[in-house]
Amino acid sequence: MKITVNGKSRELAAGTTVQALLATLQMDADRVAAEHNGSIVPKNRFADTILAEGDSLELVQFVGGG
């Protein structure tokens, strides 16, 4: 299936969760803010949020400093 991640089209296996995608992208879930089809996904829902064909995902992995 195809979904859009940070504006770019990406091919994923059906049933991929946000958490699985973060692992594939080698992103640290604790430092990530995720928006799924325009809604924020709480960290405790990363594991059970299943992505579907045509979904749009915005992922921001923060680095320290402020």
Partner 1 sequence: MRVFLNENVIEVVPGTSLFQLRDQYRPDADLVIFNGFPLKEDRPLAADDRVVLIRRGEQPSAAEMEALLMARHTPGVHEKVRGACVGIAGAGGLGSAVAIALARIGVGRLVVADFDLVEPSNLNRQQYFIDQIGLPKVEALQHNLARINPYVQVEIFFGRLTPDNSAIVFAEVDVLVEAFDLPDQKAMLVEAFLGSASAAPLVAASGLAGHGPANTVVTRRAGSRLYLVGDGCSAAGPGAGLMAPRVGVAAHHQANAVLRLLLGEEPE
42 scored as a contact of partner 1 (CB under 8 A): yes
14 scored as a contact of partner 1 (CB under 8 A): no
User: How far is residue 66's CA from residue 64's CA, in Å, rounded to a whole number?
Assistant: 7
10 scored as a contact of partner 1 (CB under 8 A): no
Residue 32 or 51 with smaller CB distance to partner 1 = 32
CA Rg, the chain, in Å? 11
58 scored as a contact of partner 1 (CB under 8 A): yes
Give the CA angle between residues 13, 21, 50 to the nearest 5°: 65
Q: Which residues bind partner 1 (CB under 8 A)?
A: 30-33, 35, 38-40, 42-43, 58, 60-66
